[in-house]
Amino acid sequence: MIFPKIKVLLSHGRQNIPDLTQVELSEEFRGRPVLSASDDMTAVEAAAALCPTGAITTKPFTLDLGRCLFCGECARRAPQNIRFTNDYRLATTSREALVVKVGDDKIDFCPANVDKAKAKLFRSSLKLRQVSAGGDASIEMELNATGNVNFDFGRYGVEFTASPRHADGVVITGPISSAMAEPLKICYDAVAEPKYLFVCGSEACSGGLFAESKAVNREFLAGHSVDLWMPGAPTHPMTFIDGVMTLLGRKKRE
């Protein structure tokens, strides 16, 4: 019967987000961290020792979002020094900007790094080829969600394509395993110039838990310039959307 299905549909309410430039996530979302120094840094030292990716340093006191797994254990160990906010605006054009310091109240997008001619070219239409270079499918699922009924990023002209020949850029997810190093290069080379290179997820940004693994080969990133770094474990759809829209000049980072 169709009537029960209609009843369920109506119970869901309005699911789409009318304006992707005006989104506030739940307070429970673990986004940008805020660091505070104190006279006694014992708890921070314990949190640093606990961090499996070495994202926290104590001298100076920093937290590298490119390595962070957003597990929140450091905030539980050192609540006076580390607090996660619901700010999803984490994407940046600079890898160094992902290192959060005491007193930082935002992630600097570093707009000086933006290629304005390329951004103007792809402002209204951007097709991306996503490459899972050893990923666990979590970030891949979040990127798929950017095109669902909630976010519908396609209305802004940003969509994923199945072929690099039809793409304007590549989005890398995963730590880049040795088995995917050559396929990644082949895919990137197949995309016509000018093109974008995005790195999405903490594993892609730094290798994450697998950074020291012999099964990982990150030489590709050493020879190519990344246009957008997007941390997260996994990366929230709004982090990706905000980063891409800011890069293309569709919105400004406050």
| Banded pLDDT at 252 (limits 50, 70, 90) | confident
pLDDT attached to residue 15 = 74
| Banded pLDDT at 105 (limits 50, 70, 90) | very high
Distance from C-alpha of 175 to C-alpha of 182, rounded to nearest angstrom: 14
pLDDT tens digits along 126-181: 999 999 999 999 999 999 999 998 999 999 999 999 999 999 999 999 999 999 99
Which whole-number Å values give the CA distances from 154 to 128, 160, 169, 197, in the listed order? 11, 9, 16, 19
Distance from C-alpha of 104 to C-alpha of 97, rounded to nearest angstrom: 10
pLDDT tens digits along 46-74: 999 999 999 999 999 999 999 999 999 99
pLDDT attached to residue 10 = 73
pLDDT attached to residue 4 = 81
Per the CB < 8 A criterion, the answer to whether 167 and 129 are in contact is yes
The pLDDT of residue 39 is above 70: yes
Look over the chain and give the mean of its residue pLDDT values, rounded to a whole number: 95
The pLDDT of residue 13 is above 90: no
pLDDT attached to residue 2 = 84
Q: How many CB atoms lie within 10 A of CB 244?
A: 26
pLDDT attached to residue 116 = 96
